[in-house]
């Protein structure tokens, strides 16, 4: 298992001591912080009712664990975790834990949550996790599953609030992943949607478009011999060249008598919009095994791109988890009477002055350079060397020396903004560390 790492480990040590010092007043929050520091990155799926969160979760789990339906369905927060974690420490007694082996289980704990835009009390826990209550920060990253089309003004505000609350001092990027859901129902090009969304909010977010139905079908064994039979029958239709069909009843008419209603419904529920059928039928021509067809479903679903974003975030679990738990500790201190609050604040100060915490800065800087406009305009070699230095990867001394010259000039540039100067100093420090290593002076 990949637990977050040294900085989160240090927070956990301090919280253990605080539990002894502070007693019951803060115990449940502190215990959950300790649990969070020892677990893989907690990622919560959030979004409005019926945007397809649970369907997406099933795809990520490669298993139909979560209930899905075209009505308000999920009523409590459920955390899915690798079975190797044993009994999972949970943020709140109302939450549930389910052990499941899934592709990213060694790196993530995935939470499904009730939809937000409802007057029922189901989403109360989700709101507390997003909005500054005791539970805020119990998830260190969020996958925001958005309904079809552009991001609404309301959601942009939600996301900006969530980012402001969870970014911490590192100006963190990457803990907010925006998923444009049900892409089969979207006419617009996904790249355009992403660009327009980025233009409409200053938020730095990661982005993926997913057809969750195809993703879940590909991953849960729903692509089977019946799927192949329906695709073959569609391919054999005399009207095939005159497609696309506009509705599922129209497809059912074309195939009347060949399949049961149940089989056709199962097929519809694994594809989504009928407009996808021409592409699907063509892409699966000559395929005679469900696993080959499932691979086409997988490709058309876009799920792999989302998984690679999640895997990338998990690489910096220490950064994200430490940020989240320190923010939780700050909120805890704000709620406590003076003396215990001072003890919590001194634990925070001990962490933030530690080597382990200082080592998080270059990691955060590398993220800023990769995922925001900070890296724009840099020569690709320059950017590559800076990222290698910040990520602690091997870097030839000659390249480190050249980077030191360039980035020293940037850090001293009085016209650069303070964030750029700070980043430049971090690259300088990393270059100096490489040049101080034994043997570096011998290399030309």
Ligand X SMILES: Nc1nc2c(ncn2[C@@H]2O[C@H](COP(=O)(O)OP(=O)(O)OP(=O)(O)O)[C@@H](O)[C@H]2O)c(=O)[nH]1
Q: Which stretch binds ligand X (CB under 6 A): 71-79, 195-203, 240-248, 361-369?
A: 71-79
Give the Cα separation of 290 and 437 in Å (integer).
55
* Least CB distance to ligand X at residue 295 (A): 18
* Least CB distance to ligand X at residue 109 (A): 18
- Which tokens belong to 369? 């350079």
Of 73 and 352, the one with the shorter C-beta distance to ligand X is 73
Q: CA-CA distances (angstroms) from residue 104 to 79, 107, 126, 299, 354? A: 14, 5, 23, 18, 30
Q: Which stretch binds ligand X (CB under 6 A): 19-27, 63-71, 223-231, 372-380?
A: 63-71
* Least CB distance to ligand X at residue 66 (A): 7
Closest listed residue to residue 137, CA positions, set 388, 327, 397: 327
Give the Cα separation of 377 and 50 in Å (integer).
41
Told to check if 268 binds ligand X by CB under 6 A, we report no
Q: Which residues contact 392 (CB under 8 A, 6 or more apart)?
A: 362, 430
Instruction: Count CB-CB contacts under 10 A for residue 367.
Output: 27
Task: Look up residue 141 and give its DSSP letter.
Answer: E
Contact flags string 49-68 toward Mg ion, x per CB under 5 A: ----xx--------------
286: three-class secondary structure by DSSP: coil
Element (H, E) at 58: helix 53-61
Told to check if 307 binds ligand X by CB under 6 A, we report no
* Least CB distance to Mg ion at residue 61 (A): 13
- As beta bridge partners, residue 384 has none
Element (H, E) at 177: strand 176-180
131: three-class secondary structure by DSSP: coil
Which of 49, 218, 277, 306 touches ligand X (CB under 6 A)? 49
Residue with tokens 């009843």: 249
Q: What stretches of 221-337 show up as alpha helix (H) in DSSP? A: 225-236, 248-254, 261-271, 277-283, 290-301, 303-315, 317-335
Give the Cα separation of 26 and 19 in Å (integer).
7
Which of 14, 182, 388, 406 touches ligand X (CB under 6 A)? 182
Binding site partner of 52, from Mg ion, ligand X, none, Cβ cut-off 5-8 A by kind: ligand X
Residue with tokens 């009207």: 239
Which of 29, 36, 39, 51 touches ligand X (CB under 6 A)? 51
* Least CB distance to Mg ion at residue 11 (A): 31
* Least CB distance to Mg ion at residue 73 (A): 5
Which of 115, 137, 290, 302 touches ligand X (CB under 6 A)? 115
Told to check if 415 binds ligand X by CB under 6 A, we report no
Told to check if 74 binds Mg ion by CB under 5 A, we report yes
Contact flags string 73-102 toward ligand X, x per CB under 6 A: xx----------------------------
Of 174 and 209, the one with the shorter C-beta distance to ligand X is 209
Which of 32, 125, 184, 316 touches ligand X (CB under 6 A)? 184
Told to check if 219 binds ligand X by CB under 6 A, we report no
Q: Which stretch binds ligand X (CB under 6 A): 178-186, 187-195, 239-247, 396-404?
A: 178-186
- Which tokens belong to 441? 């002076």
Of 50 and 166, the one with the shorter C-beta distance to ligand X is 50
Element (H, E) at 78: strand 78-81
Of 211 and 343, the one with the shorter C-beta distance to ligand X is 211
Told to check if 318 binds ligand X by CB under 6 A, we report no
Name the residues that contact ligand X, by CB under 6 A: 47, 49-55, 68-70, 72-74, 114-115, 182, 184-185, 211-213, 269, 272-273
């Amino acid at each position: 298992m990949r637990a977050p790492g040294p900085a989160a480990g240090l927070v956990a040590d301090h919280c253990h001591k605080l539990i002894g010092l502070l007693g019951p007043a803060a115990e449940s929050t502190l215990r959950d912080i300790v649990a969070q520091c020892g677990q893989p990155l907690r990622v919560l799926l959030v979004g409005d009712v019926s945007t397809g969160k649970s369907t997406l979760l099933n795809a990520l789990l490669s298993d139909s664990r979560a209930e899905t339906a075209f009505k308000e369905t999920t009523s409590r927060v459920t955390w899915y975790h690798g079975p190797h974690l044993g009994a999972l420490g949970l943020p709140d007694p109302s939450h549930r834990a389910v052990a499941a082996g899934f592709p990213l289980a060694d790196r993530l704990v995935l939470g499904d949550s009730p939809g937000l835009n409802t007057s029922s009390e189901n989403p109360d826990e989700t709101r507390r996790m997003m909005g500054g209550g005791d539970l805020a920060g119990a998830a260190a990253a969020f996958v925001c599953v958005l309904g079809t089309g552009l991001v609404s003004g309301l959601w942009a505000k939600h996301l900006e609030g969530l980012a402001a609350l969870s970014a911490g001092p590192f100006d963190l990027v990457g803990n907010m992943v925006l998923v444009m859901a049900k892409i089969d129902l979207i006419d617009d090009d996904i790249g355009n949607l992403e660009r327009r969304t980025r233009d409409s909010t200053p938020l730095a977010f990661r982005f993926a478009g997913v057809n969750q139905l195809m993703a879940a079908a590909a991953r849960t064994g729903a692509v089977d011999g019946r799927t192949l039979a329906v695709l073959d029958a569609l391919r054999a239709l005399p009207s095939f060249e005159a497609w696309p069909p506009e509705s599922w009843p129209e497809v059912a008419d074309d195939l009347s008598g060949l399949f049961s209603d149940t089989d056709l419904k199962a097929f519809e529920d694994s594809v989504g919009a009928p407009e996808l059928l021409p592409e699907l039928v063509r892409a699966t021509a000559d395929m005679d095994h469900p696993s080959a067809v499932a691979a086409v479903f997988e490709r058309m679903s876009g799920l792999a791109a989302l998984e690679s974003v999640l895997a990338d975030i998990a690489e910096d679990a220490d950064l994200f988890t430490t940020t989240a738990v320190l923010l939780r500790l700050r909120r805890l201190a704000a709620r406590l009477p003076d003396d215990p609050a001072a003890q919590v604040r001194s634990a925070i100060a001990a962490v933030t002055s530690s080597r382990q915490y200082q080592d998080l800065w270059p990691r955060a800087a590398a993220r800023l350079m990769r995922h925001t406009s900070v890296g724009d305009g840099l020569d690709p070699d320059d950017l590559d060397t800076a990222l290698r230095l910040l990520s602690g990867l091997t870097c030839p001394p000659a390249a480190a020396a050249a980077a030191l010259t360039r980035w020293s000039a940037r850090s001293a540039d009085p016209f650069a903004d303070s964030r750029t100067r700070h980043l430049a100093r971090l690259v300088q420090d990393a270059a100096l560390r490489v040049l101080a290593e034994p043997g570096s002076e011998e290399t030309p």
